[in-house]
Amino acid sequence: MKKIAILGSTGSIGTQTLEVAKEQGDIDVTALAAGSNIRLLEEQIRQFCPKLAAVWNEEKAEQLRENIRDLDVRVVSGMEGLLEVAAMPGTEILVTAIVGMIGILPTIEAIKAGKNIALANKETLVTAGHIIRPLAKEYGVSVLPVDSEHSAIFQCLQGGQRSALHKILLTASGGPFRGMTREQLEHVRVEDALHHPNWSMGKKITIDSATMVNKGLEVIEAKWLFGVNVDRIQVVVQPQSIIHSMVEYEDGAVIAQLGTPDMKLPIQYALYYPQRRYLPGERLDFAAMTEITFQKPDMETFRGLKLAYEAGRMGGTLPTVLNAANERAVALFLDRKISFLQITEIIEACMERHKNIPDPTVKEILETEQEVYEFINRRYGC
């Protein structure tokens, strides 16, 4: 039995991870953590029988304790709860399926407790990759990508000579607004942005896909996962989402990973690596497929991608500023307090005024996050 714990079990990645566990039948779920959906968390606890569960909000945690008093499950709360789930004795792999920089401390805790990380929570690597990467090396644990593009790159690198890697070709669908002008983008609504053409995901990442900030975060994520500087990572728009990413070797050979848009493949690959298992579901049908097309990303219209390259190149606290400003701006957009184009305007304003701190500590990263939040609160009143 493989023993896993999940941070963010009630979300899009979390629920799909549990589906993989159910389908495979040889995964033991040791601990689960969620934000506030205690109804779904209770269902998951009754089905997968973890020994520990964490709920962010203490009141909800108390309610859950009450609801499951017939079970032998300890319910914890807050950051302490997340840290306990992360370091739960007996767990081999921690799946980080939580959204945002709140994942940094639990990920560090898990690495120190010797857990391998199946990483979906890209925000942690984007902001603290310079801490996570050496720490994982020091503790001899693996950080296995769950993000579909990074899983694709990881799969393309199997068997290849790592030192002969020339560049990474990170594919992007272009999101729902691909091909639009800034004038057209001025009037898009929350509903339009939440309608991703190919993938069904959580709200935050769906908006990030529409702004292409998601691709920018993925460029920085790839930098840390594969030890490549951002200028050797090229974003290629591939609207049908059939090619999940590619690598080019020194001799010009390009290796790609293709598949249907199903997150269960990268999740399952991370959980069983290096083994491949049967995965039920649709397969690519090359007889029915009409085309795979490519485009250059439009970094002038989708400025978030350009800003992310800049942040990735500069490093320090700048990726934290990009990420924190984006998190808050996306929340404001979802609350209909700002327009779609203002998301990247806010990111840019925050990056411009920031005095970069090179090689920041976790404390400095979290302080920077707070400063960005306070600035946005003051300026945009939320």
Residues making contact with ligand NAD (CB under 6 A)? 8-14, 33-35, 37, 56, 82, 97-99, 102, 120-123, 147, 199, 201-202, 204-205, 263
Cα 318 to the center of its chain, rounded Å: 18
Please say which residue, 44 or 209, places its beta carbon nearer to Mg ion.
209
Shortest Cβ 5–Mg ion spacing (Å): 22
The entry of Mg ion, ligand NAD, none that residue 120 binds, CB within 5 to 8 Å by partner kind: ligand NAD
- If the CB atoms of residues 173 and 186 are measured against ligand NAD, the closer one turns out to be 173
Q: 324 touches which of Mg ion, ligand NAD, none (CB within 5 to 8 A by kind)?
A: none
Return the number of the residue (32 or 246) whose C-beta is nearest Mg ion. 246
Q: Would you say 66 and 43 are in contact if contact means Cβ atoms under 8 Å apart?
A: no
Identify which of residues 125 and 255 has a Cβ nearer to ligand NAD in the complex. Answer: 125
90 Rama class: left (phi>0) / alpha (psi -120 to 50) / beta: left
- In the list ligand NAD, Mg ion, none, the entry touching 248 (Cβ below 5 to 8 angstroms by class) is none
**C-beta closer to Mg ion: residue 215 or 354:** 215
Q: Is residue 220 a contact partner of residue 319, using CB atoms and an 8 Å limit?
A: yes
User: 99 is in the binding site of which of ligand NAD, Mg ion, none (Cβ under 5 to 8 A by kind)?
Assistant: ligand NAD
Nearer to Mg ion, 218 or 298 (CB): 218
Residue 344 near which of Mg ion, ligand NAD, none (CB within 5-8 Å, type-dependent): none
Residue 147 binding Mg ion, by CB under 5 A: yes
Rounded to the nearest 5°, which phi and psi values hold at 165?
Answer: -70, 120
89-97, 140-148, 276-284, 306-314 -> range binding Mg ion (CB under 5 A): 140-148
* Residue type present at position 274: P
Closest contact distance (angstroms) between CB of 182 and ligand NAD is 25
Q: Which does 360 bind (CB under 5 to 8 A by kind): ligand NAD, Mg ion, none?
A: none
| Closest separation in Å from C-beta 14 to ligand NAD | 5
Q: How many residues bind Mg ion (CB under 5 A)?
A: 3
Contact 321, 304 (CB under 8 A): no
262 binds Mg ion (CB under 5 A): no
| Contacts (Cβ under 8 Å, ≥6 apart) of 245 | 148, 149, 150, 152, 153, 156, 168, 169, 170, 171, 256, 257
Report how far residue 32's alpha carbon sits from residue 51's, in angstroms, rounded to the nearest whole number.
9
Q: Which residue is nearest to Mg ion (CB)?
A: 147
Q: Which is nearer to ligand NAD, 159 or 279 (CB)?
A: 279
Compute the least distance from the CB of residue 11 to ligand NAD, in Å: 2
Options 14-22, 38-46, 125-133, 146-154: segment touching Mg ion (CB under 5 A): 146-154
Number of residue whose CB is nearest ligand NAD:
11
Residue number with CB closer to ligand NAD (120 or 185): 120
- Residues near Mg ion (CB under 5 A) are 147-149
